[in-house]
Chain A
Amino acid sequence: MSNIIEVDHLSFSFGSGALTQPVLKDVTISLEQGEIVLITGPSGSGKTTFLTIIGGLRQALHGSVKVLGHQFINSNEQIKVKTRQQIGYIFQQHNLLKSLTALQNVCMTLEINTTMTEQQRCDRAAEMLIAVGLGDRLDYKPDQLSGGQRQRVSIARALVGQPKIILADEPTASLDKQSGYEAVNLLKRLAKESQTTILLVTHDYRILDIADRVVELEDGMIK
């Protein structure tokens, strides 16, 4: 199977009964390894919902969602937890742990599976932070970093586990133009080196040029 993500006729709605609100309607899309795909679309079109389903964070019931070969529709939590560990997340808010330093935050990704020694984990995390240009900020807490620096820490945190997939939801929304563009370019460069697939949601039209493919979502349907 060459497709990392395979979505077939996925439908999803919030609520039940008379209050049912369909959000995704018959979505079909697939991503190959190493591909960078951007999803754009107006606010409320269902982009975030789509991303949480791909990430195994939300249970969908209709259609088919295969991520790294695992069917997510009607699957159990265990499979999703295992798959999540091979996915890197970048959130709109940096969502770093306030009480941990940049280095410790990045290490959190590596502590899920403890085959490495503490030293190896620290070295890997430090390497990753150097790669995103924060080699001199290893021991800073999130409060002591700028918005762009925080987002770069979360990029490092997403990439350090060498995930097969990166899911990013409006990673530039809380950044100014310059640092947003730099962050996304950095993400692209590092991902291409390691053949990581990226699914990135944005309505920031300034960053469309990093994508291999741009998909537009409107009212829960792919245009």
Chain B
Amino acid sequence: MNWAGWLYFPARLAWRQLVFDRTKLVAAICGVLFACVLVFMQLGFKDTLYASAASAPLKLDGDLFLMHKQSEAMWRPIQFKRSELMRALGNPAIAEAYPLYLGLAPLKNIQTQTKRTLMVYGFDPDSLLFNVPAIRNKYTELRLKDTILFDEYSRPEFGPVRQLLEMGQNVTEINDYKVTIIGLFQLGVSFAADGNVITSDLNFMRIFPRRNLENIDMGVIRLNPETSVESVQAELKSHLNAFVNVFTYEELLRHEKDYWANTAPIGFIFGFGTVMGWVVGLVIVYQILFTDITNHRNEFATLKAMGYEQGYFIRVVFASASFLAVLGFIPGYLLSLGLYNLAESQMYMPMPMLISKIITVFMFILSMCFMAGLLAIRKLKDANPADMF
């Protein structure tokens, strides 16, 4: 028997049996679709979570970063002494070292006067710590007293800041301290903060009166050109106090991501949701395949009596599983695409439908259907032609 026939005939029979019972086909497709959407959403949320967690550190312009060992993430830092950062300057490979001050504080909506918490970044404007043009261009204005830059991508609850600025309404309060918004930049919200504000280190201390310049949240280090980041990192680790972490850029990104993945078990929740989607879909598809085999038991036994081998029926079952995977995936993908857009508009976080994610989810659904097929083929043994006469 040639190869095409080996797969084509059982696949064709599977197809004919599937389309014969439209009601059951629709039910099966809905099951796969459901699993598909669930997995798409869980993976989408997870990726968005990780991407947003790394959105601020991603824009930091530095080679090495100092953080207290107990700082679980940038949004909940533990302070350490500025002198620790200054000691690092003794290393000849290090060109510059700047403190970064971080704090959560409520910002008053200029229109509604309601307050909502956002993230405040404070640093020496001359250090140009953020690799964002809109921030860098304003470094001279940021030196002025009580000035801030506002993240345009913050949640809308802070008010239509762009329009307000155009109308000249630029005075608001952070932490009950009066400030002037002198411009906008674009960074993006995260699961920890609904918005972002950038200000100078001196203004930061005015906004947070209980903070002082000597206690810093992060240290950003720039190296001289053509020095090895790893070797300087190793030197700093051995010279500095044991309570500071010395991260490279990549390690900092991973540290922020790992917080959500491991410390705050949100990553786990999404992973769990993904697995649940897989299991629910598996059960549904298994049920469909299982009852299908039961209903066609007599037909399969008849074919066996006619000389069809066991392998043929296994191929029929797997072909059915593959058809269900494809037929459920296509509407599942389209529905998810719509839901991604909806989620983006609700969360104000990017939720891109990447090719890699489409492939991942399809493989996921395919594996789910194959697993269901694998469980269902045990039922084929019941199709015993000796009981047919």
Contacts and interface: CB of A to CB of B under 8 A. Distances in A.
Interface of A: 48, 51-52, 55, 57-58, 81-82, 84-87, 89, 91-93, 95-100, 104, 108-109, 111-114, 169
Q: Which 3 A-B pairs have the closest CB atoms?
A: A99-B20, A85-B307, A114-B5
Contact of B389 (A84, A91, A96, A99): A91
Interface string B290-322: 000000101101110111110000000000000
A98 B299 contact: yes
13 contacts: A52-B389, A55-B385, A57-B388, A85-B306, A86-B307, A89-B302, A89-B306, A91-B302, A96-B299, A97-B303, A99-B17, A111-B5, A114-B5
A95 B305 CA distance: 11
A97 B296 CA distance: 8
B191 interface: no
Report the contact-size class of chain B (Cβ under 8 Å from the partner).
20 to 34
A89 B5 contact: no
A169 B308 CA distance: 20
A114 B299 CA distance: 20
Contacts of A57: 305, 385-386, 388-389
A40 B296 CA distance: 31
A92 B302 CA distance: 12
A108 B303 contact: yes
Contacts of B309: 81
Interface string B12-51: 0100110111000000000000000000000000000000
A112 B313 CA distance: 12
A114 B386 CA distance: 26
Contact of B386 (A52, A98, A100): A52
B2 interface: yes
Contacts of B301: 95
Interface secondary structure of B, over-half rule: helix
Contacts of B386: 52, 57-58
B9 A95 contact: no
Contacts of B306: 84-85, 89, 108-109, 112
Contacts of B20: 98-99
A50 to B, nearest CB: 10
A13 to B, nearest CB: 15
B359 interface: no
B355 interface: no
Contacts of B307: 81-82, 84-87, 112
B9 A114 contact: yes
Contacts of B242: none
Nearest to A88: B306
A91 to B, nearest CB: 6
A40 B245 CA distance: 92
B299 A97 contact: yes
B167 interface: no
B354 interface: no
